[in-house]
Chain A
Amino acid sequence: MSAASFQIEVPELVLARARRGDARALEQIYRAFERPAYTLALRMVSDAESAREVMHDAMLRLIERIGQFRGDAPFWGWLRQIVVNEALMHLRKSRGAAFEELDERDEPAGDGPPPWLLADAAQLERALGELPPVTRSVLWLYHVEEYTHQEIAEMTGKSVSFSKSQVARGASRLRRLLDRQEKEAASCLAATL
Chain B
Amino acid sequence: MSGRDALNERPSDAALAAALRALPEAAPVPDLWPDLARSIDARRRRPWRYALPVALAAGIALALVLPKFATHEVTPSEPATPVANASAPADDVELSQLHKRSQSLERWIAAVAARAPQDGRDLMAAVEVEDLIGLVDVQLGGARTDSDALPLWRQRVALLEDLAVIRGNGVALAANGADGEAMSASLNLLN
Contact = CB atoms under 8 A, between A and B. Distances in A.
Interface of A: 1-3, 5, 21, 23, 26-27, 30-31, 34-36, 38-39, 42, 48, 51-52, 55-56, 59-60, 63, 65, 68-73, 77-78, 81-82, 85, 114, 116-117, 119, 121, 124-125, 128, 139-140, 143-144, 146, 148, 151, 171, 174
Nearest to B27: A35
B28 A34 contact: yes
Contacts of A125: 23
Interface of B: 1-4, 12-13, 15-17, 19-29, 32-33, 35-37, 39-40, 43-44, 117-121, 123-124, 127-128
B21 A2 contact: yes
26 contacts: A1-B25, A2-B21, A35-B25, A38-B27, A48-B29, A52-B28, A52-B32, A56-B32, A56-B35, A60-B40, A65-B127, A69-B123, A70-B117, A70-B118, A72-B119, A73-B120, A82-B124, A85-B128, A114-B15, A116-B15, A117-B19, A121-B23, A143-B21, A146-B1, A146-B3, A171-B13
Given A69-B120, A121-B24, A146 B32 contact: no
A60 B36 contact: yes
Given A31-B33, A72-B119, A117 B15 contact: yes
Nearest to B24: A121
Nearest to B14: A143
A138 to B, nearest CB: 12
B39 A81 contact: no
Contacts of A38: 25-28, 32
